[in-house]
């Protein structure tokens, strides 16, 4: 089949693109700054009603508390030294699970569960067990459903480890960030290599065979030498996956990041050098590079999905999860349905009031247009595979796909063509330009210049 004629449109001026461009991370499209209150609880009830009995769904549980606040964190969380607010929140979370489970009412079987936060590992062991039971009482789980947990090694003890294992943990993701003591002190995340190793060993001893480590570059006081040292230490733990994120300095969004002096941070060129060095060390150790910032052993499910062209991107990052429906539970959590995105109330106290009354906690969202779906598909393929098929775009989305294809053609033959090229029927981000894939994806984002959202640097 020949490529559609739209790919030979005349050139169109394109602004220069740089390392310091501020663009979204594209874990969704449209992105969260463009959600609006027109999507409410009534809307989401309708979307849940449209689920079908054989649909597979995923669940995300957001635990909005930490017992220590890391200065680098941009998540919706708050620090507490007392467990009483956590216990109160958990009662409300149980109520939300009851309400949502009743609305789903057998339409959809759970394929995957992800515990995030915040720090889900600050929950007491008995509360972990109770939460696992509440979930399985209210939702229909597939026998081989996965359960992933974000772990702060500083929180963990034998009881918590046993509890997560008992409720079916299949994957653990440990926050490492950096092992250099100077860097750790600057980000308020002091955590020895020995502690991290002990948790990896303890998780494996409980039968969990998939372990991810989160690393960061672009942190205060990081150097090429310190990044390389951290990566080499992490590799000695033989994780199944590694995620290599760029620190996003967004003090206008998260005030506690003002504790990090901007003068301590590497510039865009240094960030790029750090990310490239870390990636090279990881790949040289035998890991497959996946998307922008993930790596996995070749036999890992994520690497297998990538080779099959089935790797996906959602609010948890890269995933092999193929579910079209992701239901977010807890304050600030974001759901994705076939019809659109919906986000829960962010403020924990207000969330508790609403769900305790038996209502959905939906605060805002966005309903997909066909144009959103076409652009979202292109952005996801670029972020996951650095390429998309012109033919598939038009076959999937018809005339709307043709419109997006014209934009791709103009980009490929314009002054920014070094970032997107036409190779047969595929538009491809060249290997040397892949660190800038978020910037390439942003060229297909019709909302980007129509809002007030501020974003982190592209690299």
174-231 pLDDT tens trace? 999 999 999 999 998 999 999 999 999 999 999 999 999 999 999 999 999 999 999 9
| Token output for 320 | 């092999």
Please classify residue 302 by burial: count the beta carbons closer than 10 Å to its beta carbon, then call 0-12 exposed, 13-18 middle and 19+ buried. buried
DSSP character string of 285-338? TTPEEETTTEEE-TTSHHHHHHHTT--EEETTEEE----SEEEEESTT-EEE-S
Q: Looking at the DSSP assignment, which residues form a beta bridge with residue 65?
A: 78
Q: What's the sign of the alpha-carbon dihedral 251, 265, 175, 365?
A: positive
Q: Using the predicted structure, report yes or no on whether residue 340 has a pLDDT greater than 50.
A: yes
Into which CATH architecture does domain 5-27+369-442 fall?
Answer: Orthogonal Bundle (1.10)
Residue-level pLDDT at 454: 47
- Cβ atoms of residues 66 and 122 within 8 Å: yes
Q: Please report the pLDDT score of residue 250 as a whole number.
A: 79
Q: Is 22 helix (H, G, I), strand (E, B) or coil?
A: strand
Structure tokens at 289: 């590079």
Give the pLDDT mean for 318-323: 94
- The predicted structure's pLDDT at residue 458: 54
The mean per-residue pLDDT over the stretch 326-355 comes to 98
**pLDDT tier, 459 (very low <50, low <70, confident <90, very high otherwise):** low
**Mean pLDDT lowest for which of 231-245, 254-268, 422-436?**
254-268
pLDDT, residue 7, reads: 36
- In the numeric block, the tokens 């090279």 are attached to 280
pLDDT of residue 21: 64
Span of 9-18, 54-63, 389-398, 438-447 with lowest mean pLDDT? 9-18
Domain boundaries, the chain: 5-27+369-442, 51-336
For the chain, the first-to-last Cα distance in angstroms comes to: 37
Per-residue tokens: 406: 């014209």
Mean pLDDT of the chain: 91
d(CA 103, CA 99): 6
The answer to whether the beta carbons of residues 44 and 365 sit under 8 Å apart is: yes
Q: Do the domains at 5-27+369-442 and 51-336 have one common CATH topology?
A: no
Q: Give Cβ neighbours of residue 291 (< 8 Å, ≥ 6 apart).
A: 306, 311, 313, 318, 383, 384, 385
Which of 243, 215, 242 lies closest to 229, judged by CA?
Answer: 215
- Specify the CATH number of the domain 51-336: 3.80.30.20
Rounded distance, CA 61 to CA 289, Å? 28
Residue 457's pLDDT is 57
335 bridge partner residues: 342
Say which residue, 415 or 148, is predicted with more confidence: 148
Strands, DSSP E only, in 345-428?
362-367, 387-389, 421-423, 426-428
The pTM of this model reads 0.90
């Amino acid at each position: 089949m020949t490529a559609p004629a739209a790919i030979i449109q005349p050139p169109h001026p394109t602004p220069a693109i740089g390392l310091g461009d501020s663009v979204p991370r594209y874990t969704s499209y449209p992105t969260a700054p463009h959600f609006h209150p027109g999507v409410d609880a009534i809307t989401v009830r309708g979307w849940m009603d449209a689920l079908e009995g054989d649909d597979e769904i995923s669940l995300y549980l957001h635990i909005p508390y930490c017992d220590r606040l890391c200065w680098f964190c941009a998540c919706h969380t708050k620090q507490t030294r007392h467990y009483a607010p956590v216990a109160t929140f958990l009662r409300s979370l149980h109520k939300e699970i009851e309400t949502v489970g009743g609305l789903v009412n057998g339409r959809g079987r759970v394929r995957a569960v992800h515990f995030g936060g915040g720090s889900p590992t600050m929950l007491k062991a008995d509360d972990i067990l109770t939460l696992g039971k509440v979930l399985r009482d209210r939702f229909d789980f597939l026998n081989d459903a996965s359960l992933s947990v974000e772990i702060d090694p500083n929180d963990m003890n034998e009881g918590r480890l046993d509890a997560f294992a008992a409720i079916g943990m299949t994957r653990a993701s440990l926050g490492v960030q950096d092992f250099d003591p100077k860097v750790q002190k600057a980000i308020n995340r002091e955590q020895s290599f020995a502690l991290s190793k002990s948790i990896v060993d303890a998780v494996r001893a409980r039968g969990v065979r998939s372990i991810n480590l989160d690393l960061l570059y672009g942190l205060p006081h990081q150097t090429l030498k310190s990044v390389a040292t951290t990566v080499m230490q992490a590799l000695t733990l033989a994780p199944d996956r590694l995620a290599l994120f760029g620190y996003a300095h967004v003090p206008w969004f998260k005030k506690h990041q003002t504790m990090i002096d901007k003068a301590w941070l590497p510039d865009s060129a240094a960030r790029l050098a750090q990310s490239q060095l870390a990636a090279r060390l990881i790949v040289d150790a035998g890991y497959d590079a996946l998307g922008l910032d993930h790596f996995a052993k070749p036999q890992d499910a994520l690497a297998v999905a990538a080779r099959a062209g089935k790797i996906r991107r959602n609010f948890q990052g890269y995933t092999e999860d193929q579910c079209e429906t992701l239901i977010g539970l807890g304050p600030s959590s974001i759901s994705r349905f076939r019809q659109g995105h919906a986000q829960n109330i962010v403020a924990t106290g207000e969330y508790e009031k609403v769900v305790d009354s038996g209502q959905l906690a939906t605060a805002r969202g966005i309903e997909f247009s066909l144009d959103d779906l076409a652009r979202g598909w292109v952005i996801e393929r670029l972020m996951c595979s650095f390429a998309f098929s012109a033919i598939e775009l038009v076959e999937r989305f018809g005339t709307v796909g043709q419109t997006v294809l014209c934009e791709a053609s103009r980009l490929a033959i314009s002054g920014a063509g070094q970032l997107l090229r036409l190779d047969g029927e595929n538009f491809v981000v060249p290997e040397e330009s892949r660190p800038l894939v978020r910037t390439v994806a942003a060229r297909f984002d019709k909302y980007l210049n129509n809002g007030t959202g501020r974003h982190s640097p592209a690299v």
